[in-house]
Amino acid sequence: ELVVLEFHILQIVEKKIYPIKFFKLEGKSDEIYYFQANEKLERTLNAVVEEHITKFTYLNILYEEEKDKTYSTSLESTITAILKEICGNLFKEGLREALRRFLPDYIKYLAYKVEKEKKLFDVYDKLKGLIWHEVQTYSSEKKIAQKYDNFEESIEEFNKAIKLNPDDYDLYLAKESVLIYFNKYDDLLDFLDEILEMFPAEHKNVEIKRAYILKEKRNIEAGLKIINDLLDGYPNDKNLLIYKAYWLQYLTRKDEAIEVIKNLIQDDPDNGMYHDTYGEMLMSFQDYGKAKMEFLKSIEISSNDWYAFQTYIKLGICDKELGNLELALENLERGKKFIEKSRSDEETKQKWLQIAELFLAEINLLL
């Protein structure tokens, strides 16, 4: 009976045959203990750890200039305090050292879990890169990121440069990059009006950017109207059709969004970006199996496009959601390596690196 029990535990916990997550404590010798995520024990542990970590963070921010003060705490002392509270109450005293080894990774898992929840809204797509590609490329090539430490100084510098050279379009791109970096959406909308007045030939690009900003301000319907108006003037513009598909997705108009992207794929089945975009949409609707197939197709067509690192990371996320944790690790790590080689702007690379780290931290704790 013990052998049968151990077999079933192995199947449920280690083989991941059910969508249930378990945390593992490794005790003395060959002793291994499991407890289920989101059940009473783990929820109580979560509450205790969060309380102590909040205190730890608060004290270190409050006294960050006074490191010699005795009330400035450390993560090690925080873990000791957590152990004092949970050992003998939640867990047996004999598990103290196993818990001491477990808690650092568990704390990291909770931190990444909070960050992941903050990033859930339309974060796993490349729309920003498609629309602002010229701005991001210019910023990357000119290394403008070094000017982002101070918003006021950066804006003043570009305002002076534009005043001296009002016909230099690159200067307008540079100012755009600063405004979008600091999320100055209202200022950016006003600035787009200035650009349109100076460069009327840029009408389509300016209006696409306007639609994106409205999306960021959660006025998605207004953004879709701009895209549809542009399509009236440019009915055969494939990029505009991609944008329309994204906007329909954001409005959870699933069937319409998928119809648009499927039509694009039908017209050009060897376009890797179309398959990648379709995968993003399927992923947003939690159809991870089909999304994975589209990402693999995109990689098969071309693994060297500027968004390739994003494709591997999205593929890893799909694998994770499908329970293929080892494969998820492999693809997430591959995505990180592609980030190192990418010529994308630093902000985009850092965002996707954080996304990869969020899922890697969660997977490593659950393996």
From first to last of its 367 residues, the chain has per-residue pLDDT tens of 555 555 555 555 555 544 567 788 887 777 888 888 878 898 899 889 888 877 665 445 444 444 444 434 567 888 898 999 999 989 999 899 999 989 988 887 777 666 555 444 445 667 777 776 655 554 444 444 444 567 888 889 889 999 999 999 989 988 998 898 888 999 999 999 999 999 999 999 999 999 999 998 889 999 999 999 999 999 999 999 999 999 999 898 999 999 999 999 999 999 999 999 999 999 988 899 999 999 999 999 988 888 899 999 999 999 999 989 999 999 999 999 999 888 777 778 888 888 888 888 878 877 6
- Please, are residues 166 and 198 in contact by the beta-carbon 8 Å criterion? yes
Phi, psi of 68 (to 5 degrees): -85, -10
pLDDT in the model for residue 139: 45
DSSP string, 112-144: HHHHHHHT-SS-SS-HHHHHSHHHHHHHHHHTG
| Beta-carbon count within 10 A of 323 CB | 14
Q: Is residue 57 part of a domain?
A: yes
Q: Is residue 90 part of a domain?
A: yes
Question: 310: which 2 tokens?
Answer: 């994003």
Q: Is residue 111 part of a domain?
A: yes
CA 152 to chain centre: 28
Diameter over CA atoms, the chain:
85
Q: Which amino acid is at 227?
A: I
Phi, psi of 19 (to 5 degrees): -80, 50
Task: Work out how many domains the chain is built from and give that number.
Answer: 1
Q: Which amino acid is at 339?
A: I
- Distance between CA atoms of 91 and 242, rounded to whole angstroms? 53
Q: What is the DSSP letter of 323?
A: T
pLDDT in the model for residue 17: 45
pLDDT in the model for residue 25: 85
- Distance between CA atoms of 242 and 61, rounded to whole angstroms? 45
Map residue 52 onto helix, strand or coil: helix
- Pairing relationship of beta strands 32-36 and 22-26 according to DSSP bridges: antiparallel
- Distance between CA atoms of 295 and 274, rounded to whole angstroms? 10
Q: Is residue 204 part of a domain?
A: no
Q: What b-and-e string marks burial along 138-168, b requiring 16 or more CB atoms within 10 Å of the CB?
A: bbbeeebeebeeeeeebbeebeebbeeeeee
In which domain, by residue range, is 80 found? 2-118
Q: Is residue 12 part of a domain?
A: yes
Q: Is residue 71 part of a domain?
A: yes
CA 241 to chain centre: 24
Q: Is residue 19 part of a domain?
A: yes
What are the C-alpha distances in Å from 78 to residues 48, 109, 198?
Answer: 11, 16, 58
Handedness of CA 261, 263, 264, 269 (dihedral sign): positive
Candidates 126, 49, 148, 124; CA nearest to 90 is 49
Question: 212: which 2 tokens?
Answer: 């994106």
Q: Is residue 242 part of a domain?
A: no
- Please, are residues 345 and 307 in contact by the beta-carbon 8 Å criterion? no
